[in-house]
Amino acid sequence: MSAKAPLGVAPAEEGAGTPGQQAVLGQMVEDAAVWCAVHGLVVGDRANQRSGTVPGVGLVHAPFSLLPARFPASFFNQACELAPIFNELVDRVSLDGEFLQAALSRQVLNSIHWILLVNSGLSFSNFRTKQVDEFTSRLLEIHDKMMSINKKEDIRLGLHRSDYMLDSETNSLLQIELNTIASSFPGLGSLVSELHRTLLKQYGKVLGLDPKRIPQNWAATQFAEALGRAWAEYNNDSAVVLMVVQPEERNMYDQYCLVNHLKESYGVATIRKTLAQVEAQGQVLTDGTLVVDGRTVAVVYFRAGYAPTDYPSEAEWRARLLMEQSSAVKCPSIAYHLVGTKKIQQELAKPNVLERFLDNKDDIAKLRKSFAGLWSLDNEEIVRSAIQKPNLFVLKPQREGGGNNIYGQDLQDTLIKLQKEQGEALAAYILMQRIFPKASLTPLVRGGDCFEDLTISELGIYGAYLRNRDKVILNNQSGYLMRTKVSSSNEGGVAAGFAVLDSVLLT
Ligand code: ADP
Ligand code: MG
Ligand code: MG
């Protein structure tokens, strides 16, 4: 993040407030940093090598915005209303294995192979030609295996986060993406809302900001509740929740928030293991029970496994397959994971596709209204437009975790290069309409220092979904996360170092 004017230097007329308000902001920075330390709004400090592996060592406050981001209540409510509909959609799409295979295999198959394949009824993975996206292809392979043994998941748990930006050009709320795996910051996100409310209770009068306009945010307790209730559905009192984590995780306190709620409110124990540890210590018994390190696992909660770097060797892939084959509840299952890919987002935005999965016309209209322009790269006209006006588009590979998208000049160069190659590589990407949120001056706090910068914000709405066969046990909007980044940065991840955590001030 490029931090420019230290707080107090920016001229008041640019929005930094009166000198009195400036002094208040200075005091607030200190109060806020103390609040973070006392309440666990912290992450591992990069400066300390052990901070990603040893809890309680090398902590620093999470980067945050000093004041909540203004957001129109109507758009906030619109986003909240979409959560249960997206939850339902993910579940429905996950049951259509052929749809997932078809949409994602097209990335690795040309159309003639595709027709052969459909007509032959043979296993999809057998026909894969040159693989343009090895990672997605490996995920598909696991999914294909589950299809071929007709694996059914009776208990299905989704902990999603649907992200949106307000497009200033069209004055509309548009979805950036839907995360179905490792949706991060339910823990720290709830804490930021608390932090802002606390600050505004003390300083809100001077600043003219009402703390009651910050919506309640129970993301951590609601996600813990969903995990706890999935555990209960599994119905084995001695079983645990397995949290699959990366070997180094600076965002571990966000995860521990959930672990603590699970323990305190539901008496459920959590074990944390990396994929490599699951491979070394895990087995599936003949009845399907997953046992890891001697403990029966009721629920596998993935906070890793979404990026190619999470699978440095075959061992990690074996672990993923092992868990998928078991009877444990997977959050997400391989099918839920695939529904959250950008390729599927683009397929769902095509005409008449939502209608295949949802019955309610109003629900369909609401979802569609939130879809930005999304295209696959076999649409030559769009590719041409994107080459002509690269700033109106974002080029996205099938990746998660931030830092992967291609913009501007790079987008133009990449498209020209891919076009020249005329190969299948085009299929590894999607094109998306670029969304332009209105920028505003915001004080951001990182590493104890406060800087003011022009920022834009992205609203994430959490959704929790749990069902057991025909019974929908939970289908909720489950809190929110605002992330704010300097407007000159293209990417948005907090963990990736582009954004800060924020909350919402309804206007
Ligand atoms: P990831 O799964 O890596 O988080 P995203 O689709 O969320 O991928 O893209 C990463 C970031 O890029 C977003 O947080 C947002 O800041 C920015 N971004 C993504 N899509 C768009 C878009 N259509 N318009 C503007 N910015 C976008
Ligand atoms: Mg994502
Ligand atoms: Mg994202």
For residue 1, pLDDT beyond 60: no
The domain total for the chain is 1
| pLDDT higher at 22 or 224 | 224
From 10-14, 142-146, 257-261, 449-453, the region with the lowest mean pLDDT: 10-14
- pLDDT-based confidence at 9, cuts 50/70/90? very low
Q: Which stretch of 2-11, 30-39, 90-99, 185-194 has the lowest confidence by average pLDDT?
A: 2-11
For residue 106, tell me if it sits in a domain.
Answer: no
Q: Is the pLDDT of residue 284 over 60?
A: yes
Q: Which atom of ligand 1 is nearest to the CA of 401?
A: 3
Q: Are 94 and 335 in contact (CB under 8 A)?
A: yes
Q: What pLDDT does 428 receive?
A: 87
- Residue 250 within any structural domain of the chain: yes
372 Cβ below 6 A of ligand 1: yes
H-type helices in 40-154, by residue range?
73-94, 97-105, 111-120, 134-148
The ligand that comes nearest to the alpha carbon of residue 392 is 1
Tell me which residue range forms the domain holding 255: 218-331
Q: Is it the case that residue 115 has pLDDT exceeding 50?
A: no
17: confidence class by pLDDT, cuts 50, 70, 90: low
The SS3 assignment for 20 reads helix
Over 90: is that where the pLDDT of 128 sits?
no
Name the average pLDDT for the chain: 91
Domain membership flag for residue 256:
yes
Q: What is the mean pLDDT of residues 198-216?
A: 97
Is residue 486 within 6 Å of ligand 1 at its C-beta? no
Is 151 one of the annotated active-site residues of the chain?
no
Based on the residue annotation, tell me whether 177 is a catalytic residue of this protein: yes
CB atoms within 10 A of CB 1: 17
Token pair of 465, please? 């979904």
Flag the least confident range among 211-225, 458-472, 479-493. Answer: 479-493
3-class secondary structure, 98:
helix
Residue 113 lies in a domain: no
133 lines ligand 1 (CB under 6 A): no
Confidence of residue 131 (pLDDT cuts 50, 70, 90): low
Ligand 1 atom closest to 396 (CA): 6
- Tens digits of residue pLDDT in 390-427: 999 999 998 998 889 999 999 999 999 988 887 678 88
- When pLDDT is averaged across residues 360-367 and rounded to a whole number, the result is 98
The per-residue pLDDT for 157 is 98
Quick check: is 447 catalytic?
no
Distance CA 301, CA 231 (A): 11
The answer to the question of residue 144 being in a domain is no
Taking the centre of ligand 3 as the mean of its atom positions, its distance from the CA of residue 161, in whole angstroms, is 9
Span 53-74, average pLDDT: 98
Ligand 3 centroid–CA 278 distance in Å is: 27
Task: Count each helix (H run) and each strand (E run) in the chain, helices first.
Answer: 16, 21
* CA nearest ligand 1 atom 16, residue: 492
Structure tokens at 51: 């901070």
pLDDT at 132: 72
275 lies in a domain?
yes
For residue 248, the CA-to-ligand 3 centroid distance in Å is: 20
β-bridge partners, 41: none
Q: Is residue 361 annotated as a catalytic residue, yes or no?
A: no
Q: How many CB atoms lie within 10 A of CB 467?
A: 21
Please tell me the distance from the alpha carbon of residue 279 to that of residue 303, in angstroms, as a whole number. Answer: 16
- Whether residue 375 is contained in a domain is answered as no
How many CA atoms, within 13 angstroms, populate the side-chain half-sphere of residue 166?
23
In a domain, 420, yes or no: no
Atom of ligand 1 nearest to the CA of 498: 16
Please say if the pLDDT value at position 466 is more than 80: yes
Q: Which atom of ligand 1 is nearest to the CA of 437?
A: 25
Q: What is the CATH number of the domain that holds 224?
A: 3.40.50.1760
